[in-house]
Chains A and B, each alone.
Chain A
Amino acid sequence: MRRFIVRRLFTSVLALLGATIIIFSASRLLADPVSLFTPNEGYGMTKEEYKRVVAQLHLDRSVPIQYGYWLADLVRGDLGRDLSDRNLIGPKLAKRIMPTLKLALAGWILATVVGVPLGVLSAMRRGSVLDYVGRTFAVLGQTLPVFWVAIIAVLIFSVQLKWLPSATMGEGFAVRNYVLPTIALAWFPVAGYVRIVRSSMLDVLDSEYIKLARAKGVSNATVIWKHAFKNAALAPLTFAGLLLGGFIAGSVAVETVFAWPGLARYAVEAVQTNNFTVIAVVTLIFTGVYIVANFVIDILYAFLDPRIHYS
């Protein structure tokens, strides 16, 4: 296992390095980055100013050399400056990443604790009212757009009932401000969990060893949770890992509707304004999150399924 972890770590670093090459190259395919330095007054740049900016960004060197400069800065912890206001990206990212992480974690926990049991129950009571409720919920969850769910939730719980705030993170750890964004964020994946867990559980519950366990008189709870769920858990586990990564990287709709000052909105704004320094760094973070999530899932596979050997 140790060898596997070391090897997997090594390939993860390689993947991250590959990602940086793609990200850097893509950022250079965008419009002339010097144009972003065009001052807001005057008529473009003088030739001298243009040359100065070109030299400052190392644009007079070949792309591999530029990449080398960029990577060296990155390793030193210098993420560069946000072109929109010339401020350092590092402190701005630090402010953005925590709101996103907090919301992502809350949404992930909610989706998991609601979606997984609902999927199991739906499979256990196949054809029952509970099963139909679960399946209906799954269909609704996957068809209703998140932004619509979010706005309706605000209208009901904030405007009409006045139970919860409509938007923003609040100040400090304002728990009530998390409720609606968390529900909106978890809405779609709960449906995903229900479908995946139900389907996996039905496969497993039909297998011979489950029938044998029942024939031996093993209690229903033990059959379900010890024998069936454990074997059905691989697919939901993959979903859970990628889900957490997706929450961190892609909760744009929720962050926009609830005015959540997170990473996704920062990324979207950077894309809209061709702010290539921010795009590169944020994309790198998103890539890193997915690589780490995959790494963790791979290790968890070995714990969950003894048939999987890493050697």
Chain B
Amino acid sequence: MAQRRSFGRGYYLSGLIVLGTLLIGVLACGGAEATATATRAPAAATATTAPAAPTATTAPAAPTATTAPAAPTATAAPAATATRVATATALPTPAPIPTRAAPSGTVTGVIGGLGVGTPSGYPTDCLWCASIVMVGAHEALWAVERDSGGNPAAAGWLAESWTTSPDLKYTDIKLRKGVKFHQNFGEMTAKDVVYTYQAGMPTYTKGAVHDTLPIPALTGVDLVDDYTVRFTWSAYNALTIFEGFTDYGEGIGIFSKKAADEKGVEWLRQNVIGTGPYAMTEWTAQKIIDLKAVPEHWKNVANVDRIKLLEIPENSIRKAMLESGQADMGEVPIQDWAGLLSKGFKKSNEQIINGIEIIMGGQYWSKNKFDTGEALDRTGNTRKVDTTKPWIGDPFATGCDQDDLLLNAKPKGTVCPSMEVPRKFRWALAQDIDRDGITKSIVGQGGPLYIRTHPDDPIWKGNAGASRWPVKYDPAEAKKLMKEAYPNGLTAPITWWVGPSGLEVEVSEAIAAQWLSDLNVKVEFDRRVYSAQRPNMVDRTSTWLQTRNCCNPGTRLLSEEWIFSSAVPAGYNHAQELPFASKIYYQKIKENDLKKVESMTAEMIDHHWYWMIDIGITAPPNTTLYNGNRIAEWKQRPYNQFRLGGMRNALDTLKLK
């Protein structure tokens, strides 16, 4: 009997196996593609020419690293720059466009990573909520557009008009009427704007985490009437709105107060209610941003009914999805551009130049906030000058004249050893990088970058940057400086965060090999993902080298000094708190004379160059490619940072063939 039962189980097992085989057969053969967007890969088309490389810059004859640069010549502001700044806030608000035909079709984009996390619909904890604006679900008060000269400038978006008081103390903003929130949450009014800003600003709401809302210049947001809001400023200049409140940077959109009142915080965290041409139906990290066109919109009813932005971490798979027609547009490594362009893909009309640079982290040279004198160190923040790291200078050591070292563009007196030795080491590293070779052999496009400022930047050109801020490739000089700094060499490796993969990793590995060969400097790479090391940059405890591949290095007129200073309570920081950067920042945000702004910027570059704490490497172009056989038109607006794979604005202008 037992034998019979066992025999039965044997056949039962065999039956299971057969059944499984059939199931797999069904899996392999059956079913239609559910993805509505799958399209044929584009047929080969005329090869598109690769973008022109930035102007080649001949490596200048460099002074020895310890030589201070010649005194700057008087800086006349280049006309183009002056125009750009002057028109930055002068664009008229565009008139609403007549309603288009009903949206149809789906466009699928593929992105390496959607960002640090999933944005919340609750403004108080909405970290990275500028991304909601970028995908078109939210709208901000101002948008960035190109002016008649082709320069990026602020234009009214939800702000219909605005007037700044003659003393620059406040701006009254008239809001556009008839703007409707998604899901029937009513018309946007001044109450929504006040709610958004007050819920997002830590000065109003404890625990607010937004990246850039704590712009120190904005001190108050008040209701004037149903359609008017007053912004009160501690400092205001021609670039304040452009820099802090448009989607060029990280200007945030307007949240619905009614949704907050009716649904509560927990619901808001899961649901994003905005006024944009697309309603967000899903945003799941590691998966998808799913957007559905709203049928009625005050400005543009989108052409495409649905946009799916998929997070695909593998470069080769993103490329495969584009080639196989599973995706229509995507973020692909620069090395893959030529192949895709030859198959009919096109570049977006907007490109940026990324700067790949090495940040010499850990230069925490500030002990107090520059403007208030308030002590910086608090519980939960263990920032310190780690003198065990050979690249970190210590201005607080005995014998250092801190005022001279930290508050002048370049020190006038003798530099104490605790600052001079690390400086020589940094200069040795900087001069042992073959920028032209790396650009040509690894990147293939773009041009070299010497310091943070791009050779195409008007400030570089206007100041003859190649001679004022030279950084030449000179291994012999590098060895000499290394010998002077550390005669016995280094025993411990230097820690260098590069991230898990990408162009910046390839570039860093090449440089590390050269440093090891020429200077006997060993490197220990930290390959964690960006989001893993970001908290240390936010709380200012990072004390390692970092390779950054980010952002347009050609916008130096903006008051970006906050990134490497303790000037503003914005979390993100380059692991450097330079008192001189704070000083320049506070001068720039209050200055309306553009020539003076340029002069201040040049002084900041002097400081950076002298101390060599941001080593430029190369500057490749960056853009999004799209399937030209399927997408007829996409009119992107300018942007400064390649977030969301470059698919970060004007999705409502996409038009299918």
Chain A's closest residue to B568 (CB) is: A41
B528 interface residue, CB < 8 Å from A? yes
Q: How far is the CB of A201 from chain B (nearest CB, A)?
A: 14
Q: Is the CB of B569 within 8 A of A41?
A: yes
A168 touching B310 in the complex, CB below 8 Å, given contacts A34-B380, A35-B539, A162-B324: yes
- Which of the candidate stretches B58-66, B207-215, B435-443, B506-514 sits at the interface with the other chain? B207-215
Q: Which chain B residues lie closer than 8 Å to A128 at the CB level? A: none
Interface string of A167-190 (1 = CB under 8 A from B): 110111111111100100000000
Q: How far is the CB of B376 from chain A (nearest CB, A)?
A: 6
A95 interface residue, CB < 8 Å from B? yes
Q: Is the CB of B17 within 8 A of A174?
A: no
Size bracket, chain A contacts: 35 or more
Q: Is the CB of B269 within 8 A of A44?
A: no
- Which of the candidate stretches A129-137, A207-215, A242-250, A256-264 sits at the interface with the other chain? A256-264
Q: Which chain A residues lie closer than 8 Å to B468 at the CB level? A: none
Q: Which chain A residues lie closer than 8 Å to B326 at the CB level? A: 158, 165-168
Q: Is the CB of A168 within 8 A of B312?
A: yes
Q: Is the CB of A259 within 8 A of B269?
A: no
Q: Choose one: A41, A45, A155, A170; the contact of B33 (CB below 8 Å).
A: A170
A233 interface residue, CB < 8 Å from B? yes
Q: Which chain A residues lie closer than 8 Å to B538 at the CB level? A: 38, 40
B311 interface residue, CB < 8 Å from A? yes
A165 touching B20 in the complex, CB below 8 Å, given contacts A35-B380, A41-B208, A85-B117: no
B313 interface residue, CB < 8 Å from A? yes
A46 touching B379 in the complex, CB below 8 Å, given contacts A39-B207, A179-B27: yes
A50 interface residue, CB < 8 Å from B? yes
Q: Which of A272-311 contact B (CB under 8 A)?
A: 272-274, 303-304, 306
Q: Is the CB of A43 within 8 A of B379?
A: no
A35 to B11, CA, bound (A): 59
A129 to B76, CA, bound (A): 83
Q: Is the CB of A261 within 8 A of B324?
A: no
A63 interface residue, CB < 8 Å from B? no
A225 to B566, CA, bound (A): 75
Interface string of B232-272 (1 = CB under 8 A from A): 00000000000000000000000000000000000001100
Q: How far is the CB of A83 from chain B (nearest CB, A)?
A: 10
A109 interface residue, CB < 8 Å from B? yes
Chain B's closest residue to A88 (CB) is: B266
Interface string of B1-43 (1 = CB under 8 A from A): 0100011011101100100110110111011111110101100
A42 to B538, CA, bound (A): 9
A155 to B10, CA, bound (A): 40
Q: How far is the CB of B236 from chain A (nearest CB, A)?
A: 21
Q: Which chain A residues lie closer than 8 Å to B116 at the CB level? A: 84
Q: Is the CB of B376 within 8 A of A43?
A: yes
A235 interface residue, CB < 8 Å from B? no
A165 to B32, CA, bound (A): 11
Q: Is the CB of B317 within 8 A of A159?
A: no
Q: Which of A211-264 contact B (CB under 8 A)?
A: 225-226, 229-230, 233, 256-259, 261
> SS class of chain B's interface: helix, strand, loop or mixed?
loop
A174 to B36, CA, bound (A): 11
A36 interface residue, CB < 8 Å from B? yes
Q: Is the CB of A154 within 8 A of B317?
A: yes
> SS class of chain A's interface: helix, strand, loop or mixed?
helix
Chain B's closest residue to A304 (CB) is: B9
A-B interface contact total, Cβ < 8 Å: 214
A167 touching B317 in the complex, CB below 8 Å, given contacts A230-B6, A265-B286: yes
A84 to B119, CA, bound (A): 10
Q: How far is the CB of B267 from chain A (nearest CB, A)?
A: 12
A86 interface residue, CB < 8 Å from B? yes
Interface string of B517-541 (1 = CB under 8 A from A): 0000000000011011001001110
Q: Which chain B residues lie closer than 8 Å to A84 at the CB level? A: 116-118, 285, 531
Q: Is the CB of B570 within 8 A of A257?
A: no
Chain A's closest residue to B381 (CB) is: A44
Interface string of B116-138 (1 = CB under 8 A from A): 11101000010100000000000
A78 to B643, CA, bound (A): 34
Q: Which of B294-328 contact A (CB under 8 A)?
A: 310-314, 316-317, 320-321, 323-326
Q: Is the CB of A166 within 8 A of B324?
A: yes
Q: How far is the CB of A13 from chain B (nearest CB, A)?
A: 29
Q: Is the CB of A166 within 8 A of B23?
A: no
Chain B's closest residue to A227 (CB) is: B10
Interface string of B199-242 (1 = CB under 8 A from A): 00010001111110110000000000000000000000000000
Chain B's closest residue to A81 (CB) is: B269
Q: Is the CB of A256 within 8 A of B313?
A: yes
- Which of the candidate stretches A17-25, A66-74, A111-119, A138-146 sits at the interface with the other chain? A111-119
Q: Is the CB of B20 within 8 A of A113?
A: yes
A110 interface residue, CB < 8 Å from B? yes
A166 to B38, CA, bound (A): 11
A113 to B312, CA, bound (A): 30
Q: Is the CB of B325 within 8 A of A162?
A: yes
B571 interface residue, CB < 8 Å from A? yes
Q: Which chain A residues lie closer than 8 Å to B14 at the CB level? A: 225
Q: Which chain A residues lie closer than 8 Å to B213 at the CB level? A: 41
Q: Is the CB of A306 within 8 A of B209?
A: no
A46 touching B321 in the complex, CB below 8 Å, given contacts A158-B326, A165-B326, A226-B10: no
A170 to B311, CA, bound (A): 13
A47 to B378, CA, bound (A): 7
A292 to B33, CA, bound (A): 35
A5 to B376, CA, bound (A): 62
Q: Which chain A residues lie closer than 8 Å to B310 at the CB level? A: 167-168, 259
A258 to B326, CA, bound (A): 13
A47 to B535, CA, bound (A): 19
Chain A's closest residue to B38 (CB) is: A165
Q: Is the CB of B27 within 8 A of A165?
A: no
A87 interface residue, CB < 8 Å from B? yes
A266 to B285, CA, bound (A): 9
A87 to B207, CA, bound (A): 15
Interface string of A88-125 (1 = CB under 8 A from B): 00010001000000000010011011001100000000
A166 touching B535 in the complex, CB below 8 Å, given contacts A44-B380, A304-B9: no
A149 interface residue, CB < 8 Å from B? no
Q: Choose one: B26, B32, B211, B566; the contact of A41 (CB below 8 Å).
A: B211
Q: Is the CB of B381 within 8 A of A167?
A: no
B572 interface residue, CB < 8 Å from A? yes
Q: Which of B378-410 contact A (CB under 8 A)?
A: 378-381
Q: Is the CB of B535 within 8 A of A41?
A: no
Q: Which of B312-350 contact A (CB under 8 A)?
A: 312-314, 316-317, 320-321, 323-326
B590 interface residue, CB < 8 Å from A? no
In the complex, given contacts A91-B270, A261-B287, A272-B529, what are 8 additional A-B residue pairs having Cβ atoms less than 8 angstroms apart? A41-B209, A46-B379, A47-B379, A87-B118, A165-B38, A272-B528, A304-B9, A306-B6
* 8 closest cross-chain pairs (CB), A and B: A44-B381, A175-B31, A44-B380, A40-B571, A45-B380, A174-B34, A261-B287, A113-B20
Question: Can you list 17 pairs linking A and B with CB atoms under 8 Å apart?
Answer: A38-B535, A39-B208, A42-B571, A43-B381, A44-B378, A44-B539, A95-B284, A109-B20, A110-B20, A112-B20, A162-B324, A166-B317, A166-B324, A173-B31, A225-B10, A258-B317, A259-B314
